[in-house]
């Protein structure tokens, strides 16, 4: 459109060239922002704000229609700061813990197993208070749930039956668990026991 206006206004070739170079620089910047948003890191605030330049940009479809270059849903996905899930998608996935808790509560457990619903309910909680679904503090998380959290993360990392990811090697998985413990998410004492007693090898023998 800018080129057409320049032509109609009797613009010079220099104006045409400058307009093309400006558009090229803008396109390269937008491509760079999109690539940055797809990096497996926490999205920087300036990148998220820069992606706003994509709003309102359109292109000529082969049908002759003007269409959005990036639709609202795709733009929202690009602006996700961490991971690949939107807030609504993350909450939907996290809700499985509450569903499981309600299901387990309906089972007539024997007295020695009566705590299983509460143990399972807290196994996605983290000592840092950043777990889900209740964001429990460290003192509120049962020791059984802390142990289950370690086993759950290890299983998720090393599982070979997940269609969306490959299995992570054992040594790398243990290193990730140790990093989680250092950051205050997992119980360091229980993790030390898990590693020193080589409890993870029992899973390997059963698989």
Determine the Cα–Cα distance for residues 72 and 69; give it in Å rounded to an integer: 10
pLDDT at 54: 73
Lowest mean pLDDT among 50-64, 152-166, 175-189, 193-207: 50-64
- Of all helices (H) and strands (E), which one includes residue 95? helix 87-105
Domain 87-206: which topology? Answer: Hypothetical protein af1432 (1.10.3210)
**Dihedral pair phi/psi, residue 59, rounded to 5°:** -140, 160
Is pLDDT of 42 > 90? no
> What would you report as the CA-atom Rg of the chain, rounded to the nearest whole angstrom?
26
pLDDT at 38: 65
Determine the Cα–Cα distance for residues 65 and 98; give it in Å rounded to an integer: 46
pLDDT-derived band at 62, boundaries 50, 70, 90:
confident
**Residue range 123-132, pLDDT digits in tens:** 999 999 999 9
**Residue range 93-123, pLDDT digits in tens:** 788 899 999 999 999 999 999 999 999 999 9
Determine the Cα–Cα distance for residues 36 and 156; give it in Å rounded to an integer: 27
Average pLDDT, the chain: 82
Determine the Cα–Cα distance for residues 146 and 114; give it in Å rounded to an integer: 17
Q: Is 51 exposed, middle or buried (0-12, 13-18, 19+ CB in 10 A)?
A: buried
Domain ranges of the chain: 2-78, 87-206
Is pLDDT of 66 > 70? yes
pLDDT-derived band at 24, boundaries 50, 70, 90:
confident
């Amino acid at each position: 459109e800018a080129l057409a206006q320049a032509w109609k206004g009797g613009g010079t070739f220099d104006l045409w060239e400058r307009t093309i170079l400006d558009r090229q620089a803008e396109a390269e910047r937008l491509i760079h922002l999109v690539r940055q948003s797809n990096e497996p890191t926490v999205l920087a605030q300036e990148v998220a704000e820069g992606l706003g330049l994509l709003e309102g940009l359109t292109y000529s479809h082969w049908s002759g229609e003007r269409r959005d270059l990036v639709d609202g849903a795709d733009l929202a996905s690009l602006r996700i700061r961490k991971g690949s899930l939107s807030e609504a998608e993350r909450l939907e996935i996290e809700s499985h813990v509450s569903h499981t808790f309600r299901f387990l509560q309906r089972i007539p457990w024997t007295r020695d197993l009566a705590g299983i619903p509460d143990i399972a309910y807290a196994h996605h909680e983290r000592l840092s208070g950043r777990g889900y679904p209740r964001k429990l503090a460290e003192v509120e998380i049962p020791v059984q749930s802390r142990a289950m959290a370690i086993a759950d993360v290890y299983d998720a990392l090393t599982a070979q039956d997940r269609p969306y990811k490959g299995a992570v090697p054992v040594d790398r998985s243990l290193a990730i668990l140790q990093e989680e413990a250092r950051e205050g998410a997992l119980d360091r004492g229980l993790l030390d026991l898990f590693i020193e007693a080589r409890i993870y090898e029992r899973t390997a023998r059963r698989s």
